């Protein structure tokens, strides 16, 4: 496929191969953008800012609605693209397409809501003759950098609100999964988005990323990815807005009064969705001692019964990791934990880029598996005795995206909302629960700012105040 640079789809002599993670076959090639391409993109975006800013709200709404309709019409094609270039099964991919449609429709709705407020200046003595208001102005040029695990919907989560708010976007999709993003850009063109407002640069982020994020014409960088890359971008970016979702190490607490028929399927789905390559992945399950053995045995049984294989097979529950190197990485981290006296309960088997659903217990706190984001189908079981012990264990990592608790006791649930140091707390859902309208983001090493369409749109604007000093008649 070609990339969208300035107002045209272009090829380049140097290309990057896009491979299916399942068998490493080449499914397409894309241009490898150069530093010259970055400069063209930046200059074009700067020129298109005035077009985006002046695009009437009703036209933004119409474009976003039309784009949503087109994605829905092409659901099967988008799902197959996601499942072929990425890590999701075809069933998981269809759900992502459905969410993308919702994200774009929410963006259309939010475009009409980006208003302001009247400021009562006469609250201050001496300001009785002043009136005024504030509005939200587009921030201008946004660089959006997206990961491989949600190659369509996470693009929509950045591009949709940006268009709704009147901005221009230079999108840099993950080098391994750019095809879904390019197809979405084609949809926006068909929906009537004026040329230059959206560009898609394909290439190696480590090569062109610094030039993109550090340019002073860029007023915001919206990044979803790993903590170390996020820290690098923060150092390079300079004085501009940063919105960063940097992953997590999510705990789910199971109290002894929990409804296990509700909790267990939710935990298993959250642990192994997209082969655990998900920032909301259930990485730690903390279980109260009275029900620990029961929960452990049921989780082992359900994880062992997972069908791992061909992503396009309707019966497949879980596909591969994004490449063999990452499968080897997961294997190494698990083996290091086992060498440190962790006990393997099920899984722990790698075949090429596939890694079986894996459960462990007695994982030492100091191991990488306990402290870092595994980004693979591996989940830790821990036992606790008291509520206070569970909260201490849950908070004992440098991440804070989402946490969860299963309990029938509303008092316990509401205390947990206060006591868990996370951006979101799910009650009687696993950490993997999310809708596209809710505020989404974390604290500590999990990032800065909030996504979710309304909240992303607000991040992508700046408040402008008007104060009018009325003259005496």
Catalytic residue among 245, 331, 372, 459: 245
Does the annotation count 245 as an active-site position? Answer: yes
Where helices occur in 191-321 by DSSP H, the ranges are: 205-214, 227-237, 260-272, 289-304
Catalytic residue among 92, 96, 102, 279: 279
Grouping H, G, I as helix, E, B as strand and the rest as coil, residue 4 is: strand
Residues pairing with 341 in the sheet? none
Helix (H) or strand (E) holding 171: strand 168-172
For the chain, give the number of residues: 473
| Whole-number Å distance between alpha carbons of 330 and 51 | 46
Does the annotation count 279 as an active-site position? Answer: yes
CA distances from 418 to 153, 196, 381, 432 (A): 30, 45, 23, 19
Query: Do residues 451 and 440 touch, judged by C-beta distance below 8 A?
Result: yes
| Whole-number Å distance between alpha carbons of 202 and 33 | 6
Please give the radius of gyration of the chain, using alpha carbons only, rounded to the nearest integer.
23
| Whole-number Å distance between alpha carbons of 76 and 12 | 29
| Whole-number Å distance between alpha carbons of 167 and 61 | 14
Query: Do residues 256 and 462 touch, judged by C-beta distance below 8 A?
Result: no
Question: Which position has the token pair 């994605």?
Answer: 71
Which active-site residues does the annotation give? 245, 279
């Amino acid at each position: 496929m070609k990339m969208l640079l300035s107002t045209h789809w272009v090829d380049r002599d140097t290309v990057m191969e896009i491979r299916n993670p399942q068998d490493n076959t080449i499914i397409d090639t894309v241009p490898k953008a150069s530093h010259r391409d970055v400069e063209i993109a930046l200059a074009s975006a700067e020129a298109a800012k005035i077009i985006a800013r002046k695009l009437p709200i009703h036209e933004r709404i119409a474009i976003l609605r039309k784009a949503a309709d087109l994605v829905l019409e092409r659901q099967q094609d988008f799902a197959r693209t996601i499942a072929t270039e990425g890590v999701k099964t075809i069933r998981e991919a269809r759900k992502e397409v459905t969410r993308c449609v919702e994200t774009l429709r929410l963006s259309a709705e939010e475009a009409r809501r980006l208003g302001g407020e009247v400021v009562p200046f006469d609250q201050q003595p001496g300001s009785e003759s002043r009136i005024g208001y504030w509005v939200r102005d587009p921030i201008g040029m946004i660089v959006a950098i997206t990961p491989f695990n949600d190659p369509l919907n996470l693009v929509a989560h950045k591009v949709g609100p940006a268009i709704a708010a009147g901005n221009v976007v230079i999108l840099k999709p993950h080098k391994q999964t750019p095809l879904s993003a390019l197809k979405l850009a084609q949809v926006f063109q068909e929906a009537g988005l004026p040329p230059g407002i959206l560009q898609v640069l394909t290439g190696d982020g480590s090569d062109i990323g610094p030039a993109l994020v550090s340019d002073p014409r860029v007023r915001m960088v919206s990044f979803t990815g790993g903590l170390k890359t996020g820290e690098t971008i923060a150092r390079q970016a300079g004085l501009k807005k940063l919105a960063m979702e940097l992953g997590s190490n999510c705990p789910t607490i199971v109290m002894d009064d929990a409804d296990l028929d509700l909790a267990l399927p939710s935990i298993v789905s959250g642990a192994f969705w997209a082969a655990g390559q998900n920032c909301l992945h259930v990485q730690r399950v903390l279980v109260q001692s009275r029900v620990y053995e029961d929960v452990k045995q049921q989780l082992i049984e359900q994880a062992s019964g997972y069908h791992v294989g061909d992503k396009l097979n309707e019966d497949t529950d879980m596909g591969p990791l994004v490449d063999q190197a990452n499968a080897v990485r997961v294997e190494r981290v698990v083996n290091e934990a086992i060498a440190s006296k962790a006990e393997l309960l099920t899984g722990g088997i790698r075949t090429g880029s596939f890694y079986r659903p894996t459960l462990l217990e007695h994982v030492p706190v100091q191991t990488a598996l306990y402290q870092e984001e595994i980004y693979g189908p591996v989940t830790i079981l821990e036992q606790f005795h008291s509520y206070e012990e569970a909260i201490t264990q849950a908070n004992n990592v440098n991440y804070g995206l989402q946490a969860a608790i299963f309990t029938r006791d509303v008092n316990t649930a509401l205390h947990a909302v206060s006591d868990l140091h996370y951006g979101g707390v799910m009650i009687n859902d696993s950490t993997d629960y999310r809708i596209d309208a809710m505020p989404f983001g974390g604290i500590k090493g999990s990032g800065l700012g909030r996504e979710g369409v309304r909240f992303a749109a607000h991040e992508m604007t700046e408040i402008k105040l008007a104060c009018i000093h009325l003259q005496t008649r």
